[in-house]
Amino acid sequence: MVKNKENQQQKQKDRKKVQFIVTREFSGSQTMREAFEQLIERHTCEQFEEWLGKKAS
C-alpha cells in the first residue's frame, strides 16, 4: 500500500514537468518539429542566461 502511494506521488511529480504549449500562430513556413525545436532552444537559452545572471551575482 505504501509502495502504491509512492508511485502515485512520483507520477504527480512527473506531471509537473515543463510542458510546452505552442500558442503562436503557425504560418506553415516551418514543420511542427522545427517550430518546437526553436521553442525549446529559446526556452533553454533563457534559462541558461538566468542561471548565469544568478551565478554572477
Query: Which H/E stretch holds residue 3?
Result: helix 2-15
The alpha carbon of 4 is separated from its chain's Cα centroid by a whole number of angstroms, namely 27
Cα(7)–Cα(36) distance, rounded to whole angstroms?
A: 30
Is the Cβ–Cβ distance between 22 and 35 less than 8 Å?
yes
Residues, the chain: 57
Q: Summarize pLDDT for 14-39 with one digit per residue, the tens.
A: 666 666 666 665 567 878 788 888 88
**Top-confidence residue, 41 or 30:** 41
Considering the entire predicted model, what is its pTM? 0.50
pLDDT of residue 8: 75
The percentage of residues in the chain with a pLDDT greater than 90, rounded to a whole number, is 19
Give the model's pLDDT for residue 44.
Answer: 93
Q: How far apart, in whole angstroms, are the C-alpha atoms of residue 13 and residue 51?
A: 23
